[in-house]
Amino acid sequence: MEDIALRLVKAAIRAADPYKAVINSVRVEGNKLLVKDKEFEIKGKVYVLAFGKAACDMARAIEEILDVEDGVAVTKYGYGKELKKIRVIEAGHPIPDENSIRGAIEGLKLLEKVKEEDIVFVLISGGGSALFELPEDGISLEDLKLTNELLLKSGAKIHEINTVRKHISKVKGGKLAKKIKGTGIVLIISDVVGDNLEAIASGPTVKDPTTFQDAKRILELYGIWDRVPESVRSHIEKGIRGEAEETLKEELPNIHNFLIASNSISCQAVVEEATKLGFKAYVMTTTLEGEAKDAGLFIGSIVQEIAKTGNPFEPPVVLVFGGETTVTIEGEGGKGGPNQELALSATRKIKGLNAILVAFDTDGTDGPTDAAGGIVDGETYEKLRRKGIDIEKVLKEHNSYEALKKVGSLLFTGPTGTNVNSMIIAIITSKQGRT
């Protein structure tokens, strides 16, 4: 059954292939540029600014379609690939580093070359918030990093984290779009629940409905307002008083945003692959959120119900869940990621069943680990118990990586070059019984 699960994982990642997504969305006919259902005239030069985990593959596709004058691609360490004319910078993720700032500075320098008759492709994918960053004046990189770390550990949802990021950055929340003089064609691969463009990579090219007041409210809500650096609090308070620039509040006529890949597309690809393999298959949701360990219990409960009663689906069946769960860490925490924690938590519900569950991040990196996620079945719980592993203790300490490693239940894909959120695939082959 594991080989089927891995085949479905590959189908999900294949559907999010950034190179193919661009190739399928952009074509040239004479001096006309066609992007999905919109037509543009090619009058001047073509530039490329790409940032995110899929930056290099997206940029490579544009280089094959058009004659690119110049470009910059900023991607995660280990994700860089050689391009023809586009310079590649590798930077930090999920916490920005010096190269994240260097990438943003180089990107802004590139935009200064773009004239009104030119076209600039802005290629955005998951991880863009951290990889392409330039803090507002007075906020240091260290202050920015500490703020990001506090947000990531707080349990805040990604759109909430991005609300704060937008208001302490010079390139997020539509501020990048303001710097484009020519025609900006923005191709976006979504890594956020619901595919809201203003949330993807903190919305550098779209108008933003959030405010400085929202940013302060979120920091207070998660109890970290008094813990973020003084420079961050000061800038947000200036914004509330109208003394700092707000994010973009209106559409810009020269900027055109296109969504070309998303979690829902990948979830549907898994259903199609499972159907080919003879399974009934269903997308249960593409908007899964909440604490990872709670989501694991919830999904595990659905698997248990099907395996015991055949309700609401008679096995064999494949269930697909997409979204982005979170882990709230108090204190130091152990080693792991949301998908590993979800999979470990689910073992409590699927023990003894003819079922397998794989939870993974489509970028190949679950949290700050080298694993994409976890893959567990009806026997995993007993394997953990025989190793003397206390699952409840491990979940409390957020040390899922080490626990799953000891029973061979980590999933490794390596860097996939894309990111369309996380996915959970559950396969129930027959009614209750040990695998």
Structural domains in the chain, CATH included, are 18-261 (3.40.50.10180), 263-428 (3.40.1480.10)
Q: What is the pTM of this model?
A: 0.77
Distances (CA, A) of 2 to 214, 346, 356, 360, 362: 45, 16, 7, 14, 18
Residue 100 pLDDT: 97
Per the CB < 8 A criterion, the answer to whether 74 and 55 are in contact is yes
- Strand arrangement, sheet containing 317-323: 280-288, 317-323, 422-428, 355-361, 373-377, 410-411
Q: What average pLDDT does the chain have?
A: 95
Alpha helices in 72-211 (DSSP H): 98-113, 128-131, 141-154, 158-166
Return the amino acid letter for 47.
Y
Q: How far apart are CA 324 and CA 423, in angstroms?
A: 8
pLDDT less than 50: residues of the chain: 434-435
Per the CB < 8 A criterion, the answer to whether 370 and 323 are in contact is no
State CA 433 to chain mean position distance. 36
- Structure-block tokens of residue 99: 């190269």
DSSP, res 248: P
State CA 370 to chain mean position distance. 16
Per the CB < 8 A criterion, the answer to whether 374 and 343 are in contact is yes
**DSSP-based three-state secondary structure for 127:** coil
Distances (CA, A) of 361 to 82, 290, 337, 342: 25, 15, 9, 12
Nearest to 301 by CA among 274, 319, 326, 316: 319
Per the CB < 8 A criterion, the answer to whether 102 and 164 are in contact is no
Residue 342 pLDDT: 98
